[in-house]
Structure 1
C-alpha cells in the first residue's frame, strides 16, 4: 500500500501542477527505521512525506482523515488515527506506533499535531509524544522543513492553490541511542530550533 500511496501522491500532485523538490542535508539510509517529524501547514504534507522513507512506514494523523476518501484507505489499514483531546486515544495510538517501530516500520508524525488557523502560518509548539517515542525505541528522529503553504495552505478552501514547486528540506537524522526519557524535552526543543531556522531561511 505504501508504494501505491507514493505513486498516487506524485501523480495527483503533478496533475495539479504541483511538484516537490527534496533536498537532503546528508545522505542516509532511508530504509532505516526512524521517526520523521515535519512541520505541518498544508494538506500536501501527507503527499510529499511519502517520498522520504524507502522502507515500510506509517502516518499518525487526526481521526478526521477517515472522512477523506483518498486518505481513508490508508488510515483504516496501515496508518494510525488519533481522536483529538482524548488521552485514551493518544495512549493507544502511541502504543501502536511503538509496536510499529519495534517491527521496523517508520513513523511520520507531525509534532505540531494539526494545522493552526493562522495565516501566514507560524511554527506552533511541538508535542512531546514523537520524541518520547523515538527515545523509547532508540530510533533516529528526522526533522523536515517544508514551505508547502505557499502553494496550498491548509485545505486550500480559503486561499486556494496554485501550481508550483514545494521546497522540502530533510535534515540530518538525530540519533537517540543512549538518550533517556528525561532527554525528550531537550530533543523536542532541538528539532524545533532546526526546523524554525530553516523556515526562516526560506523567507530570506
Structure 2
C-alpha cells in the first residue's frame, strides 16, 4: 500500500504540475524509526510526505479522510483516523500509533492538528500528543517545515486557486528523546515549535 501510495503521489502531483524539493539539515537514516512532524498548510503536504518518507509509514489524520475518495483507501488500511472532538478516539488513535512504532513503522503526525483558516497561514500552536508519544516510545522527532506550498495550493485549493510550481521542504535533524520523561513533553513541543517557526518565517 505504501509503495502504491508513493507512486500515486508522485505521478498525480507531476501530472498537475506540482513538484517537491527536499533540503536536509543532515542525511536521514530511514532504517530508524521516527515520528515525522510536518507543518500543515496544504493538502499537498500529505503527498509530499508520501514521497519524502522512503519506507513503510502511517499517517494519523482526521476521521473525515475515511470518507474521501482517495484517502479512504489508506485510512481504512495503513493509516490511523482520529476524531479530534473525542478524547476516547484520540486515546485509541495514539495507542494504535504506539503499536505501529513498536512494530517498526514510522508515524507522520501533523502537530498543528490540521489546516487553520488563517490566510496567509501562520504556524499554529502544536498539540502535545506527538511529543508525549515520542517520549513514551523513545523515538526521535523529525521536524519538517514548508513555508511556500500554501502559495501554490492553500488548504484544498478551492478558495484561492492553485498554480503549478516547486514546493520547498526543509527536513531538520532528528531530535532525540531517549533521556526525556513525560514531564518534558511540553518543553519538547516548544523546542520543536521554535525550530520550525524560525524556518517557516525565514525560509
Scaled to the shorter chain, the TM-score interval is over 0.9
Equivalenced residues, count: 202
Following superposition, which runs of at least 4 residues in structure 1 exceed 6 angstroms of deviation? none
Q: In the alignment, what sits opposite 1:12?
A: 12
Shift of 1:148: 1.3
After superposition, what is the alpha-carbon deviation per residue over 1:139-160, rounded to whole angstroms, capped at 9, x for unaligned?
A: 0100000131111000011001
Shift of 1:84: 2.2
Q: Which moved more, 1:51-60 or 1:98-107?
A: 51-60
After superposition, what is the alpha-carbon deviation per residue over 1:78-118, rounded to whole angstroms, capped at 9, x for unaligned?
A: 00000121000000000000000000000000000011111
Structure 2 residue matching 1:72: 3-state secondary structure? helix
Q: In the alignment, what sits opposite 1:186?
A: 187
Structure 2 residue matching 1:69: 3-state secondary structure? coil
Q: In the alignment, what sits opposite 1:46?
A: 46
Shift of 1:62: 0.1
When normalised by structure 2's length, the TM-score is: 0.98
RMSD value, Cα:
0.8
Q: In the alignment, what sits opposite 1:149?
A: 150
Looking at structure 2, the residues matched to 36 and 109 of structure 1 have their Cα atoms a distance apart, in angstroms, of 6
Structure 2 unaligned segments of length 5 or more: list them. none
Structure 1 unaligned segments of length 5 or more: list them. none
Shift of 1:28: 2.4
CA contact (8 A) 1:13 1:19 kept: yes
Structure 1 residue matching 2:202: 3-state secondary structure? helix
Where do 1:119-198 residues align within 5 Å? 119-146=119-146, 147-198=148-199
